[in-house]
Each structure stands twice: as structure tokens, then as C-alpha cells.
Amino acid sequence: MGEVFLDGFLDALKLLPFLFLLYILIELLEHRTAMGRPGRAITGKFAPLIGGAAGLVPMCGFSVMASKLFQKKYLTVGTLFAVFIATSDEALLVLALSSMPALGKLYSILALIGVKFALAVGVGYLVDLLFKKRSAPLPAYEEREHLHEHDHEHDGHEVDELSVCEHKHESKWTLYLFSPLLHALEVAGVVFAFNVAFGLLFYLIGQEKVIDFLQGAGYWYQPLFAAIVGLIPNCASSVVLAETYAIGGIGFSALLGGLVTNAGFGVFVLFREGREWRRNLLILLCMFLLGILIGYAASAIEILI
């Protein structure tokens, strides 16, 4: 049982640098004019493409960053989908270190990367196209400053001026170092507790039982149950899916469906603040349905081939 706490601590520790950089980035985007133009890289026309590429990196830090930036309205919902779909958490590493034949291992990893990236980018652009107005991110810093000045001159909005004055009086060390560090430690602490809770659940149930369950689900039910396992916002879910596939317990279609659904701790961070829970639930449901659809589509292709 001690391993559960150690794994939870290590996972939270791995996330800490991402969270720290994330909160620094948010402060820079909100308070520094120089970050307005670079910040457009995550809101411009290439955003879903960049999000899909970032999500392929075998760690859940990018999905966490995407969730937080989306909550702050710096990402469109399409870019969030792109990151979530492309994310495979630790599955690629598990496959790379597995005892599978070298050629089969290479084909599996390349197929996963290729399909997930193409799907992530395609869905990202499609979602932004369908929900363009609702998914529009905040304007760049310079534009927001202009809007604040315009409001103050014409509507007498004194709140904007007071807000700007407050930020000016804050120490740069506090604004760009200590405050981001405190926010990062707070989220990392919650992730640790959440990870331990799910770790204990897997420990009590037994990882072998989960693998046996997936193996015994049958070919046509595997994509469905793999997608359900993929919904669990914990590293163990991607590890279980990859390990089960490596030993031949599930087919590639089930692995793909489960990993499309899986977005690591990004889902947890998305729900953490409790606001917009209906929207977040809809995003999660869409991810689940997409994982099932892709899983069964891949199964049909496997049969035809």
C-alpha cells in the first residue's frame, strides 16, 4: 500500500513544474503587454495543431495546462479537445518498454501517434468551426487593455482602473514567482490526494482483475469497456490499457478507443473548480462517445483488412 502513496507523490511531483510554468504563463498573459503576441499562438488558427502535437508528449502535464488555460478562456474548446484526444499519458512509454516484438511495438506506437494526432487536429478544428462564437478565447492583452480604457472613458467603469492599479502595486516576485508557486503547490496537493484515492481503488480491486476483466470482455465489448477504463483520470488507467494490449489481452481498436477517451489529470483539473460543470460534463461525454466510436470503427477496419 505504501507504493500507492509513493506513486501518487511522484505523479504530483512530475506535474509540479508544468503547473508552476502554467501559472507563470497565465500571469504573463494577463499582466505583460509583451506576452500578448506570443500568447496568440495558443488562440490562433494553428492552435488545434499545436494542441494535438503537445498532447502527444507522453505525460499528462499538457492536458492539465490545457484545462487550466481553457478555464481562463485562453484556449478554444476545439484546442482543448485536440490536447485531450492526443494525450496518451504513460501508455506510449509502457508500450516502448514492453516485451512485445520490436516490429509490432514500433507499428503500434506509430499507429497510435498517427491516428490520435490526425483525429485530435480534425476534431479540434471541427469543434471550433461548429462552436466558433462560444469557443472564442479572450482577446490578447493589448486588446483587453484597450477595451478597459474604452470602458473607463465612456462608461465610467472604475473597477478596471482599480484592478490595474492593484496589479501595479504588487511585487514582481510575488506576481511572477511566489503566487504561481503557491497555486501550483495547491493544485499538486489536490492531485496527490486524488491520485492516492484512485490508486487505493486500483490496489483494492487489483490491477490483475482489471486486466482479466478487459481480456474477458470479448472482442465486440472491448472498445466499450476500454473507453470506460480510459475515463478514469489517473495514470493507472493508461498503464492498464497499454499493458493489457502488450500481452494480447485486447486488440488495437480497444486500446485506441480507451486512449482517445483518456486525458489524464486534465479532466480532473477541468472539474476541480466546480464551475460550468454541465459544460465540462458534456465535454467528458463527447470524449467518451468519440472513444467508443473510434474503437468500433477501428474494429470494423481490422475485420475488413
pLDDT at 133: 57
For 89-119, the pLDDT digits (tens) are 889 989 998 889 999 999 999 999 999 999 9
pLDDT at 304: 82
With a cut of 80, say whether residue 141 has pLDDT above it.
no
With a cut of 90, say whether residue 24 has pLDDT above it.
no
For 240-286, the pLDDT digits (tens) are 899 889 988 888 999 999 999 998 888 888 887 667 889 999 999 99
In this structure, are residues 235 and 268 in contact, taking their beta carbons and an 8 Å threshold?
Answer: no
What DSSP state is assigned to residue 135?
Answer: T
- How far, in Å, CA of 124 to CA of 64, rounded? 17
pLDDT band of residue 82 (cuts 50, 70, 90) is very high
- How far, in Å, CA of 248 to CA of 133, rounded? 45
**Domain parsing of the chain, residue ranges:** 2-304
- How far, in Å, CA of 4 to CA of 183, rounded? 24
Would you say the pTM of this structure is higher than 0.85? Answer: no
What is the pLDDT averaged over residues 202-226? 77
pLDDT at 31: 62
Instruction: Tell me how far the alpha carbon of residue 295 is from its chain's centroid.
Output: 20
